[in-house]
Structure 1
Amino acid sequence: MSQWTDRRLLDLLGIDLPIIQGPLAGVTGAAMVIGVCRAGALGSLPCAMLGPEQIRLEVQAIRAATRNPLNLNFFCHQMPAVDVEREARWKETLKPYYQELGADFDAPTPVSNRAPFDETSCQLVEELRPEVVSFHFGLPDPALLDRVKATGARILSSASTVDEALWLEARGCDAIIAMGYEAGGHRAMFLSDDLNTQVGTMALVPQIVDAVQLPVIATGGIGDARGIVAALALGASAAQLGTAYLFTPEAKVSAAHHHALRHAKESQTALTNLFTGRPARGIVNRVMREIGPMSPLAPAFPRAGGALMPLRAKDEADFANLWSGQALRLGVELPSYELTLRLAEQTLAQLRRR
């Protein structure tokens, strides 16, 4: 497909379609990425919840199936100091659920962890040499970032405000992912923890496009070709879709998550910090309703989820994070390859009618 008029991102990343599969930590594996890459879009492997050997094996599987450009995605958070008192108060808040479900409250609390980009991650990038490396929550230490850039990888990172986009541009990003308030999963916010700074996709994308000189990728509430067309009309060079790929058979979603995605209404998602300690959008379930989706008691990211793990093991529907964006009702059940091609074909068809 050579009919795309804005080729800035296509040429920059070496892809054929202005579509990026959002990195869905804990859900995306090699099979989904392979389908997206084979279709000509950019497949993204989320690495924050994988160990080095797991990442290596996933990349080997992807490279064996396709040589098209690949994105490795990493988190850039700072690991917090352990706050024993806060974690004890948080677990005490959850004690009635332990008693109700028969979970062992006195057992050691599991550790919920997501690894930030570090020296080991950097060495892995230098070894595996992905064409694209994307980051969430800002950028890594400048010395590490310089080493990533030295591999030839293009650098992407997510911004949830214009100020964040300008910060990323000034520090060497090659393209900016403009993340609207509607997006599922963790907010990209890193210059502020004030949720009042967050802006919807339709308002955010054109303001970032006007503020930076880099190609912009729109994400958040984009669930089908109509959303991609809208993103392109707002000045974005491409769209990133996450929730849409949760409906593919390659997505490693639990039965409870699968059911929620297919039955929740568009109004039944909310930002919550209960599951990790950082705001992320998911489908509202019992624990979010009863405690409230945002709690000052939740330990700092990523440690909040540990105390919920024994409850999740008993009742996943009510005590697990069911990440989803607001466009979940647009999801269709197709393999990742077919979904990607369908999105591109329908987008081109709509653009021709304009």
Structure 2
Amino acid sequence: MNNHPVSEAAARLGIEHPIVQGPFGGGLSTVELAAAVSRLGGLGSYGAHGLAPERIGEVTAAIRHRTDAPFAMNLWISDHDPGGLALSPEAFDRVYALFEPWFRELGVDKPEMPERYHAEYAAQIDALLEARPPVFSFVFGIPDRRVLEECRRLGIVTVGAATSIAEAEALDAARVDLIVATGAEAGGHRPSFLQRAEDSLIGTFVLVQLVADRVSVPVIAAGGIADARGLRAARALGAGAAQIGTAFLACEESGTHEAHRQRLFGPDARQTTLTRSFTGRLARGLRNRWTEQMGQQPETLPPFPVQGWFVSKLRAAAIAAGRDDLVSLWSGQIAPNLRHRRAADLMQALITD
């Protein structure tokens, strides 16, 4: 049973306030946002799973140049789903046929078949250990014993994500330093690793209580929290801190595009959906034409990361054309309550309200 005082999460992370900025992949994390949150007493985070290994050290150094406070670098432990590591030329052409109408609509040429569809996790983790960030947070699994022992030797705090009791217990057994209990309300990817994400949709405030009663380390609540009220509620239920994603994603310091921000602050924020149509893994975002049409037959979609690779080849053209109906618009269910457009204003409200 978790008998830790709620302040222990912040103490273990070395931060002043029990606030963690959720890490964003797909170019949505920025050095500016992570450093700003850390300078203001929270834990800034950078989603590094899409970075080539050599970029991980560069980004870590860039954040360190902007702040002396702790921050987290985040990786996906699993870099492919079954069938997603490689495709034959014939299979590549079959998958392209699913996307061809979209490529034509946006005027994008057929891409060349790559050697890999995602950066290799093994190389990424070696680069991360060499960069030695203050905190290593991770999703979609648990690093092997060698990695966790090396983190302890280097003084890197480890933070793993759970979407169920079983995942939290597995993280605890592996001696991870803190556990994020991430509920189904959260925006972005559902980082389940012991069951299908569709079978691990426990709400945040239920999950926090279930996990806090069963693990020996501090718990961080994630999902459905965007203000001080949510932070207080999470702490009252046993979390030592809150991880906040959508509210920070909506800030001007993030790497998202302006049309996405406008949608987060508009009436469309009332309708989110869980979809595999962008990356091949289940994630929550705003509904649009892509989720409605490409997501109608999820069984026809290629696995992660193949799906995400093809979608990424369309993203720049879609954004340039103002086609936010064809790009991912990650969002949690709490988005209609968003109020702040700058990280400093959001942090101030979280701390003082």
TM-score (norm 1): 0.88
Aligned-residue offset at 1:111: 8.2
Q: Which residue of structure 1 lines up, in the alignment, with residue 65 of structure 2?
A: 64
In the alignment, is residue 124 of structure 1 matched against residue 127 of structure 2?
yes
Range 231-240 or range 296-305, more displaced: 296-305
> What amino acid is aligned across from residue 97 of structure 2 in structure 1?
E
Distance 2:302 2:192 in 1: 18
Distance 2:189 2:210 in 1: 22
Aligned-residue offset at 1:205: 1.0
> What amino acid is aligned across from residue 96 of structure 2 in structure 1?
K
The answer for unaligned runs of 5 or more in structure 1 is 347-354
| 8 Å Cα contact 1:231/1:238 also seen in 2 | yes
Q: Which residue of structure 1 lines up, in the alignment, with residue 306 of structure 2?
A: 303
> What amino acid is aligned across from residue 81 of structure 1 in structure 2?
L
| 8 Å Cα contact 1:76/1:116 also seen in 2 | no
In the alignment, is residue 35 of structure 1 matched against residue 42 of structure 2?
no
Aligned-residue offset at 1:201: 0.8
Q: Which residue of structure 2 lines up, in the alignment, with residue 204 of structure 1?
A: 207
Distance 1:128 1:78, change over 3 A: closer
Distance 1:157 1:273 in 2: 22
Distance 1:67 1:280 in 2: 33
Distance 2:85 2:59 in 1: 31
Aligned-residue offset at 1:266: 4.2
In the alignment, is residue 244 of structure 1 matched against residue 251 of structure 2?
no
> What amino acid is aligned across from residue 13 of structure 2 in structure 1?
L
Aligned length: 340
State the superposition RMSD in angstroms: 2.2
Distance 1:14 1:280, change over 3 A: same
Distance 1:233 1:116, change over 3 A: farther
| 8 Å Cα contact 1:201/1:221 also seen in 2 | yes
Q: Which residue of structure 1 lines up, in the alignment, with residue 226 of structure 2?
A: 223
Aligned-residue offset at 1:189: 0.2
| 8 Å Cα contact 1:86/1:299 also seen in 2 | no
Distance 2:184 2:303 in 1: 21
Distance 1:249 1:112 in 2: 32
Aligned-residue offset at 1:67: 1.2
Q: Which residue of structure 2 lines up, in the alignment, with residue 277 of structure 1?
A: 280
Deviations along 1:83-121, one digit per CA (max 9) or x if unpaired, are: 44665444323333344444435x535788443532x33
Distance 2:330 2:106 in 1: 23
Distance 1:311 1:191, change over 3 A: same
Report sequence identity in percent.
37
> What amino acid is aligned across from residue 6 of structure 1 in structure 2?
V
Deviations along 1:290-334, one digit per CA (max 9) or x if unpaired, are: 233661122111110233345434434122211111111222334
Distance 1:310 1:168, change over 3 A: closer
Distance 1:184 1:293 in 2: 20
Q: How does 1:1-354 map to 2 (within 5 A)?
A: 6-25=6-25, 26-79=27-80, 80-84=84-88, 87-105=92-110, 107-108=111-112, 113-115=117-119, 117-118=121-122, 120-292=123-295, 295-316=298-319, 317-346=324-353
Deviations along 1:235-288, one digit per CA (max 9) or x if unpaired, are: 111000011011211111123322322224344211111111111111111021
| 8 Å Cα contact 1:183/1:325 also seen in 2 | yes
Distance 1:240 1:112, change over 3 A: farther
> What amino acid is aligned across from residue 334 of structure 2 in structure 1?
A
The answer for unaligned runs of 5 or more in structure 2 is none
Deviations along 1:197-225, one digit per CA (max 9) or x if unpaired, are: 31111211101111112111000111111
Range 22-31 or range 192-201, more displaced: 192-201
| 8 Å Cα contact 1:27/1:253 also seen in 2 | yes
Distance 1:342 1:112, change over 3 A: farther
SS class of match (1:168):
helix
Q: Which residue of structure 2 lines up, in the alignment, with residue 352 of structure 1?
A: none
> What amino acid is aligned across from residue 211 of structure 2 in structure 1?
I
Range 243-252 or range 73-82, more displaced: 73-82
Deviations along 1:12-64, one digit per CA (max 9) or x if unpaired, are: 11111000000112111111111111111111121112234433233223222
Range 135-144 or range 314-323, more displaced: 314-323
Deviations along 1:154-185, one digit per CA (max 9) or x if unpaired, are: 11110000110001111111111000001111
SS class of match (2:274):
strand
| 8 Å Cα contact 1:158/1:179 also seen in 2 | yes
SS class of match (1:325):
coil
| 8 Å Cα contact 2:191/2:197 also seen in 1 | no
> What amino acid is aligned across from residue 344 of structure 2 in structure 1?
Y
> What amino acid is aligned across from residue 205 of structure 2 in structure 1?
M
> What amino acid is aligned across from residue 195 of structure 2 in structure 1?
S
Range 85-94 or range 297-306, more displaced: 85-94
| 8 Å Cα contact 2:54/2:127 also seen in 1 | no
> What amino acid is aligned across from residue 323 of structure 1 in structure 2?
W
Range 13-22 or range 247-256, more displaced: 247-256
